[in-house]
Amino acid sequence: MPFTQLVNASLEILLNRLLTLDDASSERLRALSGQRLRVRIREFPQPLTFAFSDKVDLLGDTDSPVDCDIELSINTLDKIGDLNRLNQLIQQKALTLKGDLHTAQAFGILFKELNIDWEEQLSRYTGDVVAHQSFNLMKGLKQKFSRDMAQLRSVLSDVALQEKPVAAHPLAVEDFAGEVNKLRADTARFEAKLTQLEQRKAGKA
């Protein structure tokens, strides 16, 4: 089975589905219409070629001419919507770009500004009431989750600050014990020396 085509087909369906969920995306897509962008993600074996019209077509070819050709790592992908960042990334060599900078930027903006009203989307399938309740429930759960997380974080930081120094590491204990022994030996030697000096002084007197 043509594997590249399978991956591209799935990605293409996903991207276009996401774009149709945001009414404003057609405006952003229009800015790219007729252009082509090739993205070589370093972690992927195959480049992705995006052809923009009123939707996004994902092509699996590697050599057709494109308006812009960028190579970057997957972590950098979400940073290309911002022109300043884009220039910075190019200077830092985190990204190489051939062709039109604005194509890359418009592509970044297309997905960065994606604004999907999930409650509204859910209500299409479940009706308004269920969607609203589910969203409230989810919001509540999310809030509770972040509260719990905040609490956990503060407990953990207390533990780190206050209890950790008390529960010393075995190596530190060993080192400490070593220092104490040395001190004890030094004190004993000092005591012997002192006794010796006292006796000598007494002898002289």
20-59 positions binding other proteins, by CB under 8 A? 34, 51, 53-55, 57, 59
Encoding tokens for residue 150?
């905040």
Taking CA atoms, 186 is separated from 161, 178, 193, in Å, by 35, 12, 10
Report in angstroms how near the CB of residue 1 gets to other proteins at its nearest. 6
- Tell me the site size for other proteins, rule CB under 8 A: 18
The pattern of x and - marking residues 142 through 161 that bind other proteins according to CB under 8 A reads: --------------------
Report in angstroms how near the CB of residue 11 gets to other proteins at its nearest. 12
Specify the residue, 51 or 80, whose C-beta has the smaller distance to other proteins: 51
What residues have CB less than 8 Å from 198, skipping those under 6 apart? none
- What distance in Å separates the CA atoms of residue 20 and residue 182, rounded to the nearest whole number? 76
Shortest CA distance to 36 belongs to which of 47, 24, 46, 27?
47
- What distance in Å separates the CA atoms of residue 69 and residue 95, rounded to the nearest whole number? 10
Specify the residue, 8 or 76, whose C-beta has the smaller distance to other proteins: 8
* 5 touches other proteins by CB under 8 A: yes
What residues have CB less than 8 Å from 15, skipping those under 6 apart? 56, 58
Report in angstroms how near the CB of residue 169 gets to other proteins at its nearest. 59
On whether the CB atoms of residues 56 and 103 are closer than 8 A, the answer is: no
Q: What is the dihedral of CA 5, 6, 10, 12, to 10 degrees?
A: 10
Specify the residue, 50 or 111, whose C-beta has the smaller distance to other proteins: 50
* 14 touches other proteins by CB under 8 A: no
60-99 positions binding other proteins, by CB under 8 A? 60-61, 64-65
Report in angstroms how near the CB of residue 4 gets to other proteins at its nearest. 8
Q: Which residue has the tokens 């972690």?
A: 43
Specify the residue, 13 or 173, whose C-beta has the smaller distance to other proteins: 13
Report in angstroms how near the CB of residue 16 gets to other proteins at its nearest. 11
**Interface residues toward other proteins, by CB under 8 A:** 1-2, 4-6, 8-9, 34, 51, 53-55, 57, 59-61, 64-65
